[in-house]
Structure 1
Amino acid sequence: MDDIVKAALKKWPNVPACHGWLALDARGDWYMRDDRIQAAGPFPEVKGSRITHDKLKDFIHRNYAADEQGAWFFQNGPQRVYVELEAAPYVWRLQADPSGPVVIWAHTGTPAHFESAVLDEHGRLFLHTDLGFGVVHSLDMEAAAQAVETGLWPLQELRFAELPGRFGYRLSPQRDLAPG
């Protein structure tokens, strides 16, 4: 976490959290979701405005974490901005390496090491790594397929609805708070 963010948390410790305004899709893209977009429908059915500013994305990546209940957030100064997830907390990018295992890194740029692989009923590949749980980016399925076919990544099949509970994350902290 950035030092400026830590300082803001100390200075203003009781700023209310924000829900529904930030989302991460299955390709690692961030979306802003203002009141109008939120009223138009849930994420990912209605995505919002894609964040393209590189310095803003870098700031989000450096200050991206999870709380004790598995809800992911971006710590924006003193305010915690909870994230709506399309598939998982991380989106894995892969690079085949002929001299060793497939190189894995998160959409945040952080490197990771393979622990296990999961295939859901929609044919999406998820990896559990030392960093956490995430979905493989659709553009990197060739490298993933090679790792699966050569036996480096044995697959477990699970239904998508089981993944958040099994791997300790929440897709929608906002909807989890809704009365009902």
Structure 2
Amino acid sequence: MDEWVERAMARMPNVPALFGWLGLNRRGEWLIQGDVINHRRIVDTIARNYGVDEHGRWFFQNGPQRGYITLEYAPLIARVQADDSLAVHTGCRVETARALYLDEDSTAVLDTPEGAVLIQGAELAWVLERLRKTSGDEEIDESALASALEATSGAKTDLELVFGSERLPVYRCDRADMPTTLGFVREPAPREDENSN
């Protein structure tokens, strides 16, 4: 977090949190009351001061006030870089992951130490090029992918994702089950023991 944010939090530690104003869409764009924020300095400030609390609720720490983020899908959105690596919408590179999850619409989400990373639709070719059957090294065909997508939510498929030097397990997970499975909250709300505006 920015130094000015930490100073403001120390000066005013009990500012009530804000819910329902800020959002993040599937393209990795920040929203304020549903409208895309386009001002570069504001976008960069949010990215630098974006975090998650112990309950899986993602937020922007704006000075002393925490503004919780409503997520259209996941807290981190990946884009393929020129060197074929992945970076999330905040600018951080995706270095490691534990598994890949596919939902009923073939949306791909990486489970990483930093949080759940949605690989947006335009970047799905990156995933498809790296999917392999657990029994071999050839790229998969449409029937192998269709079979994996027909699995029940929570099931481990017979696919793996080649990610750097690792081969990650691939699971089927319904969109509705992603938050519980990967530990994040799409629509944060105040808890009973908290004050809010």
- TM > 0.5 fold call: yes
In proportion to residue count, which structure has more helix?
Answer: 1
Contact between 2:86 and 2:94, CA under 8 Å: does it hold in 1?
A: yes
Q: Give unpaired runs (5+ residues) of structure 1.
A: 34-47
Q: Give unpaired runs (5+ residues) of structure 2.
A: 133-138, 140-159, 163-167, 193-197
TM-score by length of 2: 0.75
Q: Across the two proteins, how many residue pairs are aligned to each other? A: 159
Which of 44, 50, 60 lines up with 1:58 in the alignment? 44
How far residue 95 of structure 1 moved from its aligned partner, in angstroms, is 3.8
In 1, the alpha carbon distance for the partners of 2:172 and 2:82 equals: 23
Which of 62, 66, 69 lines up with 1:80 in the alignment? 66
Which one has a bigger Cα radius of gyration? 2
Aligned equivalent of 2:144: none
How far residue 121 of structure 1 moved from its aligned partner, in angstroms, is 0.8
Structure 1 pair 161–147 and aligned structure 2 pair: CA distance change class (3 A): same
Percent identity over paired residues? 37
In 2, the alpha carbon distance for the partners of 1:175 and 1:94 equals: 35
Aligned equivalent of 1:41: none
Aligned equivalent of 2:180: 165
How far residue 5 of structure 1 moved from its aligned partner, in angstroms, is 0.2
Contact between 1:94 and 1:103, CA under 8 Å: does it hold in 2?
A: yes
How far residue 66 of structure 1 moved from its aligned partner, in angstroms, is 0.5
In 1, the alpha carbon distance for the partners of 2:82 and 2:98 equals: 17
In 2, the alpha carbon distance for the partners of 1:176 and 1:91 equals: 26
TM-score by length of 1: 0.82
In 1, the alpha carbon distance for the partners of 2:185 and 2:172 equals: 20
Root mean square deviation, CA, Å = 1.8
